[in-house]
Structure 1
Amino acid sequence: MTGREEQLLTVSIQENIHAASKIEATLGHLIETYGSKLSDRRFDDHDEAERILIWYIRRLYRDIGILAERLSLPLLAKDIKREFKTISPNSIAEMFFDPDIGSPCSTYLNNLRDYFSSLSTITKASSVSGLQVFETILENTAIIINESNVEPNNEANVRNAILRVLRYAFRDVQREVSAAKLLKVYKPDIGITSLMAAAEYKFVTSESALKASLDGIYADMKGYGGHYDWRTFYAVIYMTEPFSHQKEWEAEFRYSRSDINWKPILINGPGKRIKKEKI
């Protein structure tokens, strides 16, 4: 079982990978825009982005190596340290074209993501069974709604039906849990403190509403980011018609470099939004 220190280090690494991914996307855009011209003249934006990316890569090699040591994986920690020592200072920010993403990506940041993917699974081991139960219940939202004989017309209707089921599995499940920041208090729809996990529901009845919900989700990512008490988030999009499917949204999250601790879940179930009467 991992301790609080390993969990906090995991969150810190997640945040730094996310920040580095934004810089990676900036570099990729510059490379695609200017191509070979980057070597013909000086581009201050490119140089600055490259400098920041190198800083993140160095820090991530250090922190991920420390996490491997704390998880009693000395051989992996040595491999990470050895790989970092073999990287030439001139190649640490090198990029390659990733056909899955469709844009240039950082070679070494990509390696770091792979290392961290394995380690983060271990750090979540103490709560993985609980997370699986939580996620399974969220994925079965449509079945729960159908068996509840509820025809929802807003997020609250859906959320309340799911809360009733979650309370059978988790004593500490809460509605609209607090994630306070300096000037504002953000409140995810559902939170389970023992799992450090939360879910945000979006209720959509049209394709335009589905697209608009993305802006709300990205705003939620920013609002909930940096809270060490919450490190796993689910964006559950409840559609009254099949406007999209799961793989499209997973691809959207990858393409936009969304926070890696967020997962989208698309649900198609019964319901309709009640139009307000005009006075």
Structure 2
Amino acid sequence: MLEININYAPQISLLKDIDEQLTDAWNSVYKLQNLSEHVDHENGTNEDYDEEETYFSSKIQRIHLSLCLLLESLGYVQLLQDFKSGYSAYSGNPTSCSPTRDGDFHSSTLSYFWRFHKTTSSLINLESVETDERKQRVLLEAILRNTPKIVHDRKITPNSEAEVRNCVYDLLIHVFPDTMREIPVPQVTKTYKADLGVPSLKTAAEYKYATTEEEARKIIGGFYEDMRGYAGSEDWKHFYAVLFMSKPFFTVEQIRAEFAHVGADKNWSPILVHGEGTRKRR
């Protein structure tokens, strides 16, 4: 086994870059899945889908080139030949994504790249636990972004935050068995409770629900208190602020701009979604 030292610094840097490229490429797969629902099946066209597919294709090409360069620079001649030979099975249609039994898109090309990335990581004795966690967080984020579809598939029209949250929880426990609800995060003067959390990923999600623009505006401001409440926790390092709106009152770009303006914690990511929803009259 090769030892990590300064002589392998360029290869380690390249390996980490490939890791980031793979994460970005998997994100692209999840975007293609969402966009596929809006493709004009009669004409077979969708501008956003075509643009994302082009981006995904460029990612595939770059990862392939990076892996070839990595294996060559490490002197693994036979492994490089095996990689190129095996890739021929995917090179004809490298961006092909097929739905799994659960309906989620899967890329065989990326899975092939991942196996070689994982093998090479072990060969240079590089810890890849963080890489695995990052990939799992990408999957978790994709599920959170698909909240409206999850709720719709349950055939309900929610009228509260709890109903939305419970629909997502019922799905998450099958993907991440350690998913928890109302996780206590103690501070000096108060114990906060995160709506959903996956301890193995140190990731929590705070769900909010709005049926008016004014309500949504207040909720966005309320996220800042949550940020302070969860700050400094060693058990939870990554957070998602999920706002389910009955109409698209705001865009996620607006919220990101506001987060940046007020200096929000970098480990908080906003997710804005909208779907059918009502509010119970008191």
Range class of TM-score, shorter chain: 0.5 to 0.7
Residue of structure 1 in register with 2:251 after alignment: 245
Q: Deviations over 1:166-225 (max 9, x none)?
A: 011011000011111122111110000000000001101111111100221000000010
Q: Which amino acid aligns with 2:269?
A: K
CA distance in 2, matches of 1:253, 1:171: 31
Q: 2:161 aligns with which of 133, 147, 155?
A: 155
Matched, 1:174 2:180: yes
CA distance in 2, matches of 1:217, 1:129: 25
Q: What are the residue-to-residue correspondences of 1:126-205 with 2, within 5 Å?
A: 126-205=132-211
Q: CA deviation at 1:75?
A: 11
CA distance in 1, matches of 2:255, 2:10: 37
Q: What are the residue-to-residue correspondences of 1:23-172 with 2, within 5 Å?
A: 124-172=130-178
Q: Which amino acid aligns with 2:239?
A: F
Q: Deviations over 1:52-102 (max 9, x none)?
A: xxxxxxxxxxxxxxxxx9xx969999xxxxxxxxxxxxxxxxxxxxxxxxx
SS, match of residue 242 in structure 2? strand
Q: CA deviation at 1:249?
A: 1.2
With over 3 angstroms needed to count, the CA separation of the structure-2 counterparts of 1:184 and 1:125, relative to structure 1, is same
CA distance in 2, matches of 1:237, 1:176: 17
CA distance in 2, matches of 1:270, 1:145: 9
CA distance in 1, matches of 2:178, 2:266: 25
CA distance in 2, matches of 1:139, 1:73: 37
With over 3 angstroms needed to count, the CA separation of the structure-2 counterparts of 1:207 and 1:159, relative to structure 1, is same
Q: What are the residue-to-residue correspondences of 1:194-233 with 2, within 5 Å?
A: 194-233=200-239
Residue of structure 1 in register with 2:104 after alignment: none
With over 3 angstroms needed to count, the CA separation of the structure-2 counterparts of 1:74 and 1:247, relative to structure 1, is same
SS, match of residue 266 in structure 1? strand
CA distance in 1, matches of 2:196, 2:10: 38
Please give the TM-score of this superposition, normalised by the length of structure 2: 0.54
With over 3 angstroms needed to count, the CA separation of the structure-2 counterparts of 1:182 and 1:247, relative to structure 1, is same
Q: Which amino acid aligns with 1:126?
A: D
Q: CA deviation at 1:242?
A: 1.0
Q: CA deviation at 1:124?
A: 3.8
Q: Which amino acid aligns with 2:153?
A: E
Unaligned regions of 5+ residues in structure 1, if any?
1-68, 78-121
Q: Which amino acid aligns with 2:159?
A: N
> Aligned-pair RMSD on alpha carbons?
2.2
With over 3 angstroms needed to count, the CA separation of the structure-2 counterparts of 1:166 and 1:76, relative to structure 1, is closer
CA distance in 1, matches of 2:250, 2:9: 41
Unaligned regions of 5+ residues in structure 2, if any?
14-127
Please give the TM-score of this superposition, normalised by the length of structure 1: 0.55
CA distance in 1, matches of 2:235, 2:166: 23
Residue of structure 1 in register with 2:95 after alignment: none
Identity %: 38
Q: CA deviation at 1:265?
A: 0.3
